[in-house]
Structure 1
């Protein structure tokens, strides 16, 4: 990770492969300080298309996969962004359904404006 931080801080671009490896390190071994340093350096330098694509590939590599052919399967999504500071119903419903023994694929992003 140190090599990638130094190179980006010096204004060098990472190749797609290097960015993918750096992204994997973010999920596997990097400290919070290293992650912050790398992301700050990338932002200051300006991210290239290859760097963005490499980080996206690294994120996909680290993501949990599901078997979409498994039945039954409930798919629910929500970001909590209704703008009215209400409870995040999609997360609550995912817990209830999973508690009843049904596999749930819950996806989305961090809460934007609601409470969970």
Structure 2
């Protein structure tokens, strides 16, 4: 596969993630917006979040669209690029497969615990 084709696939996944974050938070995404997909070849997180976006979505995102997966290396990349006060997230995809997200297990259970407390607190008050 040509390098330009591979980068286009990576860019497409990054833009998909940015759009999903935008839909959930109600904040704009795109160039010079609160949610922005990083240009290919730059170092750092793949989705740049500013202001309210970073507060509403406290995750550092790494995105990989490849046919051969190197999970340990990609997780290391995600951890290396993790911003202070965020948890890392790794979005992965390959041709003809759905997007998958990988995150730290402790962060997942912390998030799930918050969800359960919110849901059951709502039922008790309702």
Instruction: Work out whether the TM-score is over 0.5.
Output: no
TM-score by length of 1: 0.30
The structure in which a higher percent of residues are helix is: 1
- Which structure has more relative contact order (CA 8 Å, sep 6+)? It is 1
User: Which structure is larger by alpha-carbon Rg, 1 or 2?
Assistant: 1
The structure in which a higher percent of residues are strand is: 2
